[in-house]
Structures are given as C-alpha cells and as structure tokens.
Amino acid sequence: MRNIIQIKSPATIANLVCGFDILGLALEEPYDIMTLEVVEKPGLEIIHTDNYQLPTIPEDNVAGAALLALLDDVKNAPGLKLTVEKRIKPGSGLGSSAASAAGAVMAASKLLDHDFSNEDLVKFAMFGEKVASGVKHADNITPCLLGGVTLIRSIMPLDIVKLDAPDLHITIVHPQIEVKTSDARQILKKEVQLKMAIKQWGNIAGLVAGFMKGDHALIGRSLEDAIIEPVRSILIPGFDEVKFRSKSAGALGGGISGSGPSIFMLNKDIETAKAVEQEMKGVYTKIGIDFKTYVTKLNTEGIKIIE
C-alpha cells in the first residue's frame, strides 16, 4: 500500500445545452491538484495552498465532507492529510466543487486500495456538493470521475452511463461576474410546454446519437436548448453575442456551463477553437467585463494519478 497519492482533478461542464441536469463532460484544463497522504495523527487534516479562503474544517470543506462520507465505509482508516491546490476558480460554473469532492474520494479510494464502484464514489462525492450548494447533485461529479461525456439517466436510483464521443476541442470564456446557482435555479419556470419538451428531447436524442456516432454535424445541429438557456442567459451579459460570433467562427455550438457564468463552445478542430477564443475575447473587451478564456479538449480519462 502506498502512503501518498497525487492526482489531477479536472474541471467539468454540466447542463450540456439541451441535456440540462443529465449530460456533462470533463475538460483537460483547468484542473485542481490534490495530494492525499497517510499520516500518524488520526483524523483528517485539510490544507489549501490556493488563495480562495475556503474552509478547512473537514465537515465544512467540500473535499472534506466527501472524504468523511467515504471514510464512514472504511474500517480502521488511517489518519489522512489532504492538500488541495485549487486552480479551478470557485463560482466559475466549471465544476470547481465537484473537482474537490470527486478528486478527494478517488484519491482516497486508490490510496486505501479500496474497491469502491463508480456509483459509490459518486454518492460519497455528492456529500461534498451538498456542502457547496446545498444540493446533492451529480452533474459535475460524474464526468469528473469517469471522464468523457457522461449521462445521469436517473439520480434516484443512481444510474450513470459513459458515452462514446469523438475528439472535441472546447473553448471557454469565464466572464468575471457572479451568478448564484440558487438564483439560476429559481428563475426557471416549473412547467414547460409539451411541444417545447418534445423539441428538447429530439435534440437530446440527437446529441447522444451524435456523440456515439462521432458525427460532429449532428452534434452541432442538436446543441440547441429551447427551455433553460433562453431564461438563464439573461443573467450573463454578452451571452447572445458570444454564441452568435462563436458559431459564425465555426463552433459546433455550445451554451452556459453549469449554471454559469462561463460559456463554452464545442469545436471540431483546434484552429476553430482558437478562432472562437478570439471572438469571445472581442465581446468581453468591448463590453468591458474582465474575463479568462481556455482552449482545451474533451478529457476522456477523468481524474488522473500524477504519482
């Protein structure tokens, strides 16, 4: 049994356009670096080497709460020290809390050489999400753990499915504004028109088929959300222009990452992804909102062990 493990836990995109609450994907970048080691002192110590002023009491820390849930299922667990170098900005809509929660439980599962199923790990990590947002959602945890494009068919009982997908180059812009997940959820209407729901499920079916066939054009045609995006995008200044200019530059399509404020675009090749980045930069430079962009790829492995 090893005494120390270091992992990269990736950022993720949840609410994949028409796949609200069910489809997500993992990114190559950004990612958090987490180190978990066995120590003599019993219990769990958490250290953050970043500057986000996150709580370090295990029960109040996203990674800590997830780890404690896992340790409840481990007999005679040793003392543990978790060091987190958070590189995914909290509140970006890129699954920062899920990276902490999923990374911690995956690291512990490997370090303690325990044979937890993916479903178990998702369930443990959901305790971390509850600390972060009050809701035990699995939208970001699942792609973070499994990599690639993932489907949550059902949350109760938990039923997660990894989908095949072709290479995808992904451009992201994070305008430095705050969108509270609770606000983003509150403004949604509780009812939808049946005809809009049918349109949405056509697109979801098309998107799943597009990923599995590796059909970029079908993916592009299916990246359409007639229900959530029209309501939520008003919380993100510049959204419509980013989308219009990105698609004009060749993006397959995209939308709000998680509950925002980050916006992502899927692209077939790196050249398009870079051209899309220029358009995103142009929009927020003009509007005068600080921003950060990423040009990255679909991460097919999920959490990676560094050493």
Query: Is 83 noted as a catalytic residue in this protein?
Result: no
Kindly state the DSSP code that residue 72 receives in the 8-state scheme: T
Comparison of 59 and 159: residue with beta carbon closer to a copy of itself: 159
> Applying CB under 8 A, which part among 92-100, 213-221, 248-256, 264-272 lies near a copy of itself?
213-221
**Bridge partners (DSSP) listed for residue 150:** 24, 162
Using a 10 angstrom Cβ sphere, with 0-12 exposed, 13-18 middle and 19 or more buried, the burial of residue 162 is middle
Comparison of 15 and 171: residue with beta carbon closer to a copy of itself: 15
Which tokens go with 93? 């809509």
Please count the other Cβ atoms lying within 10 Å of the Cβ belonging to residue 251. Answer: 27
Comparison of 188 and 306: residue with beta carbon closer to a copy of itself: 188
Compute CA distances 131 → 35, 54, 63, 125, whole Å.
21, 12, 9, 10
Should residue 257 be labelled a site residue for a copy of itself when binding is judged by CB under 8 A?
no
Query: Is 129 noted as a catalytic residue in this protein?
Result: yes
Should residue 192 be labelled a site residue for a copy of itself when binding is judged by CB under 8 A?
yes
Quick one: which of 28, 7, 178 has its CA closest to 93?
Answer: 178
Given a contact cutoff of 8 angstroms between Cβ atoms, the answer to whether 56 and 48 are in contact is yes
Should residue 231 be labelled a site residue for a copy of itself when binding is judged by CB under 8 A?
no
Least spacing, CB of residue 206 vs a copy of itself, in Å: 4
Should residue 203 be labelled a site residue for a copy of itself when binding is judged by CB under 8 A?
yes
For residue 253, the surrounding DSSP H or E stretch is strand 253-256
The active-site residue, picked from 28, 37, 129, 279, is: 129
The active-site residue, picked from 181, 272, 277, 296, is: 181
Should residue 227 be labelled a site residue for a copy of itself when binding is judged by CB under 8 A?
yes
**Cis status of the peptide bond prior to 261, with omega within 30 of 0:** yes
Should residue 189 be labelled a site residue for a copy of itself when binding is judged by CB under 8 A?
yes
Comparison of 151 and 303: residue with beta carbon closer to a copy of itself: 151
Site string for a copy of itself, 140-159 (x = CB under 8 A): -----------xxxx----x
Q: Which amino acid is at 20?
A: F
CA distance 103 to 148: 16
Should residue 206 be labelled a site residue for a copy of itself when binding is judged by CB under 8 A?
yes
Should residue 194 be labelled a site residue for a copy of itself when binding is judged by CB under 8 A?
yes
Given a contact cutoff of 8 angstroms between Cβ atoms, the answer to whether 254 and 243 are in contact is yes
Least spacing, CB of residue 133 vs a copy of itself, in Å: 17
Should residue 197 be labelled a site residue for a copy of itself when binding is judged by CB under 8 A?
yes
Comparison of 207 and 273: residue with beta carbon closer to a copy of itself: 207
Task: Characterize 212-249 residue by residue with b for buried, 16 or more Cβ atoms within 10 angstroms of its Cβ, and e for exposed.
Answer: eeeebebbbebbbbebbbeebbebbbbbebbbebbbeb
Least spacing, CB of residue 233 vs a copy of itself, in Å: 17
The set of catalytic residues is 129, 181
**Interacting residues toward a copy of itself by CB under 8 A:** 18-23, 151-154, 159, 161, 163-164, 188-195, 197-209, 212-213, 218, 221-222, 227
